[in-house]
Amino acid sequence: MSEDKERRAAKTALIKAYKKKQRRSRPLIGYLSLPLLAVMFIACLISILGDKAELNEKQEELELLRQQAAALEAENASYESILEEEDERTYMERIATEKLGYAYPDERRFYDTTRS
C-alpha cells in the first residue's frame, strides 16, 4: 500500500507541476495576442482607407475621361455632318466667307468700325 500511496503522490505532484506550467504560459500568450491583434486591426484599417482614397481618385479620373469622350463624340458628329453634306462647294464657300473672311472679287463688304 505504501507503494500505491507513493505512486498517487508522485502522480498528484506531476499533475500539479503540469498545471502550474500551463498557468504560467497562458497569460504570456494573452499579453502578446492583444497587441498583435491591435496591430493587425490598425494595418487593416490603413489598408482600407488607402484603397478608398485610390477608388475616389479613379472615379474622378473616370468622370474626366467621360467628359473628354463626350466632347470628342460631339466633335466627331460635327465632322460626320460635314462629310455627309451633299454640296461640298457650298460648304467650302461658307467656311471661306465666315471663318477666313474671304469674299468674291465683285463683292463688297462693309464692317462696322464704331465698335471697339
pLDDT tens digits, one per residue of 18-33: 777 665 555 556 667 7
Quick one: how far is CA 35 from the chain centroid? 31
SS3 sequence of the chain = CHHHHHHHHHHHHHHHHHHHHHHHHHHHHHHHHHHHHHHHHHHHHHHHHHHHHHHHHHHHHHHHHHHHHHHHHHHHHHHHHHHHCCCHHHHHHHHHHHCCCCCCCCCCCCCCCCCC
Q: With the CA atoms of 87, 88, 92 and 94 taken in that order, what torsion angle do they form, in degrees rounded to the nearest 10?
A: 20
Does position 75 have pLDDT exceeding 80, yes or no?
A: yes
- Does residue 7 form part of some domain? yes
pLDDT at 30: 63
| Each residue's pLDDT tens digit, 36-73 | 888 999 999 999 999 999 999 999 999 999 999 999 99
- Does residue 109 form part of some domain? no
pLDDT at 29: 62
- Does residue 103 form part of some domain? no
**How many domains is the chain built from?**
1
- Does residue 104 form part of some domain? no
- Does residue 41 form part of some domain? yes
Quick one: how far is CA 34 from the chain centroid? 32
- Does residue 107 form part of some domain? no
Full domain range(s) for residue 87: 2-98
- Does residue 113 form part of some domain? no
